[in-house]
Amino acid sequence: MILNTRNEVIRVESLMAAGDDMAKDIARAMAEDHAVELWQGVQRIERIEPPRITGN
């Protein structure tokens, strides 16, 4: 699930991966601008936040 800043679902995508580690890698790559939650059925595996952009 792709979430906006209010934690509302804006898009759902199904992933095909050989295991949890591969699915997490794919989800991390998707988390450029929005948080991503990785689910397997009704179990949340991980929430991945987008990288913070600093103005240093």
Measured between alpha carbons, how far is residue 5 from residues 28, 30, 33, 35, 52 in Å? 17, 15, 10, 8, 13
Take residue 53 and report the two structure tokens written for it.
């952009």
pLDDT band at 1 (very low <50, low <70, confident <90, very high): very high
Mean pLDDT estimate for the chain: 89
In a domain, 56, yes or no: no
Asked whether residue 41 is domain-assigned, the answer is yes
Q: CB neighbours (10 Å) of residue 20?
A: 12
Residue 22 domain-assigned? yes
pLDDT at residue 45 in the model: 93
Quick check: is 12 in a domain?
yes
* Domain range for 19: 2-48
Q: Residue 42 — pLDDT band, cuts 50, 70, 90? A: very high
- Residue 21 located in a structural domain: yes
pLDDT of 53: 53
The number of domains in the chain is 1
Q: What is the pLDDT of residues 3-23, one digit of tens each?
A: 998 999 999 999 899 998 999
* Residue 35 falls inside a structural domain: yes
